[in-house]
A and B are shown apart, each in its own frame.
Chain A
Amino acid sequence: MASSKTCFVTIGATASFAALIKAVLSPRFLTALKEQRYDELLVQYGQDGKELFETAVKGVQSVGGIKIHGFGIDENGLGRYMRQARGKDGQEGVVVAHAGSGTILEALRIQVPLIVVPNSDLLDNHQVELAEALSEQEYVVHGHLDNLPKALQDAEQLRTRQKQWPPPNSGVHRQSKSQGLKGVLDEEMGFLD
């Protein structure tokens, strides 16, 4: 376990995201994983994704060489799996996730390369904007369902220049009179000292 290169895929706990489960369990993606020397694929498929996951796994048994397993939801959070994917000593993996902000923040804190795949089925799609903005600043790779192998390559690039999280806010407050949340609360409270 300790010496395997892991790709951890998570669709989150609230909505289902069948398209992402299908995309990561396609022969094309698995081949790409093998090319990048991955040996483990771990999928968090959500409350009602079990059936879909098992059918899809059967469909790609011919590819082989990669251990595939999955689970529905873990109430203790995903940190454990993200740290497993982060790996060490030349076995560093990747996380592929839906664009939920909680999941993204956790992966950024854990400092594991992250591919964000927004769910285009969701109505209010501010998640795409978040994924775009973060990939522009090179915090994450903005992945598209139809081209995940490319995202996997980009993630290797991202690994070499993993950015610090949270970003230091020095410089920002120079343009503003307040310093961070504390500054604003102090001003509103009337604390002058």
Chain B
Amino acid sequence: MAFILKFLLAILAVGLTAIYLRFTILLNAKRNKPLRHGRRNPNEPTHLMIVLGSGGHTTEMLSMLSRSVQDEDQSQRLHWNDYTHRTWVVSSGDSLSAARAEEFEKMAAPLSTQEGLMMGKVKRATDNGPGTYEVVTVPRAREIHQSLATAPMTSLTCMQACRNVLLKDTTTTREGHGGQAGERDVPDLILVNGPATGTIMVFTSLLLRFFDVKGVSTRGKMRTVYVESWARVKRLSLSGKLLRRVVDRFLVQWPQLVREVGGSVEYLGVLVQ
């Protein structure tokens, strides 16, 4: 009896150690980045996921993206068609965020195509054109006046939806290999700010990486960037606290917050406009 108990304990210890080691690899921000050959290599499709929330979060996200794609400093300008496919995630019922995402795409996609061709920096052969985008909906993690008792249930539903969205686009090539020209692959990058949906999306991607579903971990996919709200000067938001140790990059918009929180938190100036 004692032997069996010891045996089980040993297995448990090994199991926990393995899980722990797996997480240290997953959470290492210096882990593998995808291997790329040029920014707009037609053989290497790129996929950016942006998670919008309601109200203020959507406003801030679009504000900083708009500022980036229109930056007068060429070295800091974000070229929207560097990403051949963009997935915008909105919560169900939030038609306003969906409309604003569409509006942004109409503004940003032609901007970098024409501009890039004119600059002569992008060869026609490697220019992917404006790329494609899609606005997808996931159920809300928590309704505004929902009781906390039912929150775990709705969070799970939201998580399931996030998983489906994250794995919506997969390639036909062998597992563990990159997609071919024109194909869509799982997101390379997930950009989130404050909303609960964004937090759940990041944790869902972490689970997928844990089990290396579709080779997302070995292929260096689903890297995560979190931007704390500009309204947060000295203290992190709840989403910020939850995500601080699990995202690859954690950006804040006030230097005070770097001193306060420390660690790998980065201040690169005000990002919104």
Contacts and interface: CB of A to CB of B under 8 A. Distances in A.
Interface of A: 14, 100-102, 105, 109, 126-127, 129-130, 132-133, 165-167, 169, 172-173, 176, 178-185, 187-193
A188 B33 contact: yes
Contacts of A178: 266, 268
A166 B67 contact: yes
Given A181-B78, A182-B68, A105 B34 contact: no
Given A169-B268, A173-B268, A184 B249 contact: yes
Contacts of B254: 133
Given A126-B233, A185-B225, A190-B220, A180 B269 contact: yes
Interface of B: 33-36, 38-39, 46, 48, 55-56, 59-60, 63-65, 67-68, 71, 75-78, 82, 188-189, 191, 220, 223, 225, 227, 229-235, 237, 248-249, 251, 254, 256, 266-273
Contacts of B63: 105
Contacts of A190: 33-36, 220
Given A126-B231, A169-B269, A188-B248, A183 B76 contact: yes
B55 A14 contact: yes
A181 B253 CA distance: 11
Contact of A166 (B189, B191, B272): B272
A185 B16 CA distance: 34
A47 to B, nearest CB: 15
Given A100-B56, A101-B56, A189-B46, A180 B271 contact: yes
B229 A179 contact: no
A180 B82 contact: no
A191 B39 contact: yes
A120 to B, nearest CB: 16
Nearest to A104: B231
A101 B253 CA distance: 13
Contacts of B220: 190
B90 to A, nearest CB: 18
B225 A126 contact: no
Contacts of A188: 33, 189, 223, 225, 248-249
A176 B264 CA distance: 12
The dominant DSSP class at the B interface is: loop
Main secondary structure of the interface of A (DSSP, over half): helix
Given A126-B235, A173-B269, A182-B71, 17 more contacts: A14-B55, A101-B231, A102-B56, A109-B273, A126-B233, A132-B233, A166-B273, A173-B268, A178-B268, A180-B271, A184-B225, A184-B251, A184-B266, A187-B33, A188-B223, A189-B33, A191-B36
A15 to B, nearest CB: 12
29 contacts: A101-B230, A101-B231, A102-B56, A105-B272, A105-B273, A129-B234, A130-B232, A130-B233, A133-B233, A166-B270, A167-B269, A169-B76, A169-B268, A169-B270, A172-B268, A172-B269, A178-B268, A180-B269, A180-B271, A181-B68, A182-B77, A183-B268, A185-B78, A185-B189, A188-B248, A189-B46, A189-B189, A189-B223, A191-B39
Nearest to A14: B55
Contacts of A105: 59, 63, 230, 272-273
Contacts of B229: 101
B39 A193 contact: yes
B175 to A, nearest CB: 21
Contacts of A193: 38-39
A167 B39 contact: no
Contacts of A133: 233-234, 254, 256
A189 B225 CA distance: 11
Contacts of B78: 181-182, 185
A133 B256 CA distance: 9
Nearest to A184: B249
